[in-house]
């Protein structure tokens, strides 16, 4: 299932690197396209919620998979 346009693996990285790299990756997307992010830092769950709230991008899903955290973000128009 690859319902996303771009993917970012931020495993092993501490805040704020996953956020920073996601911000950069999202800037390369068109509005409405999605980015999937994988992270291992437990704090990233709250971080991506806050990030989406502040940037207006949509946090489509956020959950744990195989001990890692996966996020799907849709770029705002």
Angle between helices 44-55 and 17-27 (to 10 degrees): 40
Whichever of 15 and 60 has its CB closer to another protein, that residue is: 15
In the region spanning residues 34 to 73, those forming contacts with another protein, defined by CB under 8 A, are 43, 46-47, 50-51, 54-55
Q: Tell me the C-alpha distance between 33 and 26, whole Å.
A: 9
Q: Does 14 bind another protein (CB under 8 A)?
A: yes
Which residues of the chain form contacts with another protein (CB under 8 A)?
8, 13-17, 19-25, 28, 43, 46-47, 50-51, 54-55
């Amino acid at each position: 299932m690859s319902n996303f346009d771009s993917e970012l693996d931020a495993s092993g990285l501490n805040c704020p690197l996953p956020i920073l790299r996601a911000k950069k990756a999202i800037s390369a997307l068109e509005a409405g396209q999605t980015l999937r992010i994988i992270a291992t830092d437990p704090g990233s769950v709250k971080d991506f919620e806050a990030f989406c709230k502040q940037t207006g991008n949509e946090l489509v899903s956020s959950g744990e998979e195989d001990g890692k955290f996966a996020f799907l973000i849709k770029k705002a128009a």
